Structure 1
Amino acid sequence: MTQTAPSKIAGKSIGTVGYGLMGFTQWHGTPFEEAIEVMKAALESGSNFWNAGTFYGPPDRNSLHLLHAYFTKYPTDAAKVVLSLKGAYDGSTHTPDCSPQGIRSSVEESLAILKGVKSIDLFECARVDPNVPLETSVKTLAELIKEGKIGTYGLSEVSADTVRKAHAIHPVSAVEIELSLFSRHALENGTIKTCQDLGIPVVGYSPLDRGWLTGQLKKLSDLPKNDYRHHMPRFQSGAFEKNVLLAEKIEGIAERKGVTAPQVAIGWVVKQGVVPIPGSTTTKRVQENAKAAELTEGELEEIRGFVEEFGVAGERYPEVLQGHLNG
């Protein structure tokens, strides 16, 4: 049974498709002048829920610096954008710090970089910290809300059990998980159902599975030599060739509908009752991704059959990064 995607997060109206900012500062080093115009195109296309990270890029050039530049140029857009920020995480060591000091430091540093041009509508600890009781972390976030430093808080990469426990301590405003046709774990392990039962909006990152569902990957050599995906399990020889088969079936549906493969993939996420946050660094792709394909029940069943027939080879992340998943 299909669901209706959330229309509000943190009490504010959002478009059907959101926007992930990681690519600009994490992978591509896009000049801010160019990035700002792509972000403007996303907003004008209805994608006003923006997802950023304190660790998306180096300390002197991450999402926050880009956001400061954007809202300095377009100050009136601050009221139109719903900003979700992941933090309390060391990107260089891939370790969370969700202690009261760690969370507060992350929020304070973020506010210092933003310099008042935009508020933090939703703050998420990027991963659950196994060394800090969940209650301690949530109570700190609740204090920051009361102090007016963040609007609401969310959870990222969490289990259904963690959602229930956190929500009982202080209401959760959103849960961010990875969701795509290639990554359906949150549908299968009860996380998404738990959120929907509790009325918590779900945000799905990587809806195109790091490029698998763009229609652009046919052989390993399609990846640039220095591309980070060479380290990801689904892009290894053997797994790659198998995964192409499922991707091509999705392309076939898109071609028949007169839309693109990304639009079908994003439309599938929407049908799960989840807000997809595709990331792109070009205006053309941003505008394309903002138009989720409307899938019929028959098409959803067809996709389900392809998934069962072909499956997906490889884990979501390499082993070194799996420790803090589904916390």
Structure 2
Amino acid sequence: MKKLVYLLVLSVGFSFAQTTTKEKVKFSAKIENRNSDTLTVFGPNKFKQVIPINKKGVFEASFEVTDGLHQFSDGSESSMMYLRGGDDIKLTLDAKEFDETIVYTGKGSKESNFLAQKALSDEKFEMELEGLLEKDEATFKAALDKKAKEDLAKLESAGLDEKLVSALKPRIAQEGMMLTQYYNQKAAAKKVEGTTAPSFDYENHKGGKTKLEDLRGKYVYIDVWATWCGPCRAEIPHLKKIEEKYHGKNIEFVSISVDVDKDHEKWQKFVTEKQLGGIQLFADKNWMSDFIKAFGINSIPRFILIDPNGNVVKADAPRPSSATLVELLDGLVK
């Protein structure tokens, strides 16, 4: 599961005081129920190390690193870890319970184990987040403050490398700021619910143009996305399943790309090669398109639900990967 708080941490980047060491890191991983025969480690300065599985069923390599935060991916899931020259780290996990089973051993493992536990803590908080987003601002802020204090207390008492402590302290504050922005976005979106939706008239991948009024009489579930957006692409398999579930019902699925004009051909090829369903549209002025600005969209993916009369049901609707979307649509779509 991709965690919102985890993604926010990654969005801050890997930058902080760094030292490239000549001493190599020894890294190995034993993964049950693996999703791939390669493991990829990403790090500062566009670092990328691809590690193939060996005959013993182990991912094993030795490589130079820039000391600091890194990320490993098995092709389907990712997690953060901390690497320094001279470390000798061994990772074990079961990909069926990815986050819950991550364990590091060996020299330099303490910091990575801390990061794995923080990811679990963040995931637990995210499970409460949907309910918190419905609360008043004071309640939401109190929950964020409580989390930040607890995270700082754990960080300062864990006996970690001071570089990691220095790197994570501002990130904890930034998590709160980003989640507050997310809360404010949700609050602003609620204000337009029940009002007439702004219209659009955009190029259709299949030819011609499509406007919102063409879809009157049906619910319209809109996905605002772009080809370069990783979280957007991650929702595509879930969206396809939702489209299949409600095929033939009174709902249309519309995807609006905010790719810039120079990527128009890239968008066309992407839609064709990935066999994207629904109605695929290309916004006329990407982020500055009137429809995008009317909903105050400044981050993607963003999902919107409009009723058969053209009124906004949800200006910030649940994602296709959320069980909440099915609950919502089951109560509306016939």
TM-score, scaled to structure 2: 0.33
Bigger share in helix: 1
TM-score, scaled to structure 1: 0.34
Structure of larger gyration radius: 2
Bigger share in strand: 2
